[in-house]
Structure 1
């Protein structure tokens, strides 16, 4: 089985952070989002990962994945040169798959369950052509949802329905045994220009095509997921992941209080400040005379005299003054 991870999206919901880096390279809890995804795959029996890249910043993904995981996973990087939706992105992986089973996980989603849990849940379903993770939600009209029959098999997949057939939301993780069937369904959509939500070729539409051609698709439960494509859930994922890590403290701390959990990169300097809880500081960060809580601070950022909470500060940003909540992009300079 090979993992397929679509990473070509522009990450517009994370602007300004993603003006200078792909959203999968935004760092939380000690490593980029992509690092958490690939670390999860390494803990499974999956040995090959297909990373679908695109856009002018794709080199960052290629270089990071090769450097950090090239000795743990066999990596390939098909390119989506013309972004036309998730289904279209997955279709770019076809030459790398050769009809093998695939495990699809989205490049901006992190899960409380481990990937190995999902794979075991899929295996427990028996003879199915595919399965997908679902979670019961309060407002299913905001999600893609599945209608499930009495035997637990999928009857229908619907994207953000006004009258939802169920409260089971699609969570963004899929196990496909019949990859040839999935790629055939995707080809059918693309060749017939059958665009779905947002005017794009969508993966749930291809799965619906499989259902209509008598494929058997099951479901498994997902406890919680974190959509790291939005600032508020990115910060939530940072908090959850930091709970699992030991607090790290830099060597250059002066008259400073660290309130765990906190993750610090290398060459971090903190003076006369309170940092934490739930703070991630990337390499070469400098903080002085400040209070920083529940925030993500990028590489080489400098904070002086600020009171930050629930904030995201980009690489090399410089902030002076007093504030409460920010989302500041790379190389910004603010005086408040």
Structure 2
């Protein structure tokens, strides 16, 4: 059994952060999103992992993630020159996958459920495809499955106007080597991509039209949370859930007598807190300097961050950022690597900006 993780794409919904980095490397609770998928796959007993990378961000993914040794895995990187669809990613990965069954995992997704239980079902029932589904309130925004009472998949519809169910496709799939034949028999969609939903639908059609082929496609529904971190608000929600469920107390920094820590807080090495209060759940990385600050719940502060005279909560601050003397509370925010947010002198009373393409600024 092998695994294929997709870490390509352009991450347009998280711009401007993703102009300079892969969306799968944006941290949630100070850990790259991609790593949660790797850890979940290894926990299920799969150690041979292929990662699809793009020309724009592939080098960064390789440098940060490495050869897999720190995860107990063997990682092979596979370059996808253009984002030509999920099925195209499987197609170019075939030399790595060979005839092995595999799990395909979208690298910007995080799920609560253990993959092992679904892997056991896939193996025991000798399925050709097992897709994971999640009930959603807005199925028109997703690929949606129609499933019978036994879990057999009857059909897939991409972003339907009239959904056949409220079961959206989660970005985790289990496939036998039959998927390669299916991909070879589909054509690019209207947007010019080879769609994995079309390949799965091909398997479903074969299952229906020729029962002697013994093609079997089933689905299982996730009961826990599923996080698609493609947009800012989704990423903040993911950060909140991870901090709520996976962070334990660990204080390794230097805390002065005027500072206060309340609740579950993790603070890294060589970090200094001076006259500051931290109310968890919060994670603060290594080599940070916090002075005269209040850090409220659901905040993730990466390594090498400087915060002076700042109140902040429910926010993600990336590596090397600086926030100095901001006299309003910062909430629901995402600050990129090495970004600076500094209060200018009060006179003259005017607003000055240098804002990159596709940025979003809210003044309240």
TM-score under structure 1 length normalisation? 0.90
Alignment CA distance shift 1:237-1:275 (3 Å): same
Q: Measure the CA separation in 2 of the matches of 1:148 and 1:67.
A: 39
Aligned to 1:310: 332
> 1:55: Cα distance to partner?
2.0
Aligned to 2:195: 202
Matches within 5 A, 1:1-336: 1-66=1-66, 69=69, 72-123=72-123, 126-176=125-175, 178-179=176-177, 181-189=178-186, 194-196=187-189, 198-214=191-207, 215-223=215-223, 224-243=225-244, 244-246=246-248, 247-250=265-268, 251-306=271-326, 307-321=329-343
Instruction: Deviation per CA, 1:242-274: give whole Å up to 9, x if none.
Output: 121122125310000011111111101100000
Q: Measure the CA separation in 2 of the matches of 1:12 and 1:38.
A: 23
Q: Which aligned runs of 4 or more in structure 1 are off by greater than 3 angstroms?
A: 67-71, 120-124
> 1:123: Cα distance to partner?
4.5
> 1:144: Cα distance to partner?
0.7
Alignment CA distance shift 1:147-1:197 (3 Å): farther
Alignment CA distance shift 1:150-1:118 (3 Å): closer
Is the 8 Å Cα contact of residues 281 and 297 (structure 2) preserved in structure 1?
Answer: yes
Structure 1 spans left out of the alignment, 5+ residues:
323-327
Is the 8 Å Cα contact of residues 240 and 298 (structure 2) preserved in structure 1?
Answer: yes
Q: Measure the CA separation in 2 of the matches of 1:254 and 1:32.
A: 28
> 1:70: Cα distance to partner?
5.1
Q: Specify the SS of the correspondent of 2:303.
A: coil
Alignment CA distance shift 1:150-1:221 (3 Å): closer
Structure 2 spans left out of the alignment, 5+ residues:
208-214, 249-264, 345-354
Instruction: Deviation per CA, 1:40-59: give whole Å up to 9, x if none.
Output: 22212101111011122211
Query: Relative to structure 2, which stretch is displaced further, 102-111 or 53-62?
Result: 53-62
TM-score under structure 2 length normalisation? 0.83
Aligned to 2:259: none
Is the 8 Å Cα contact of residues 26 and 32 (structure 1) preserved in structure 2?
Answer: yes
Question: C-alpha root-mean-square deviation of aligned residues, in Å?
Answer: 2.2
Count of aligned residue pairs for this structure pair: 321
> 1:6: Cα distance to partner?
1.0
Q: Specify the SS of the correspondent of 2:55.
A: coil
Q: Specify the SS of the correspondent of 1:196.
A: coil
Is the 8 Å Cα contact of residues 85 and 202 (structure 1) preserved in structure 2?
Answer: yes
Q: Which has the larger radius of gyration?
A: 2
Is the 8 Å Cα contact of residues 121 and 220 (structure 1) preserved in structure 2?
Answer: no
> 1:137: Cα distance to partner?
2.2
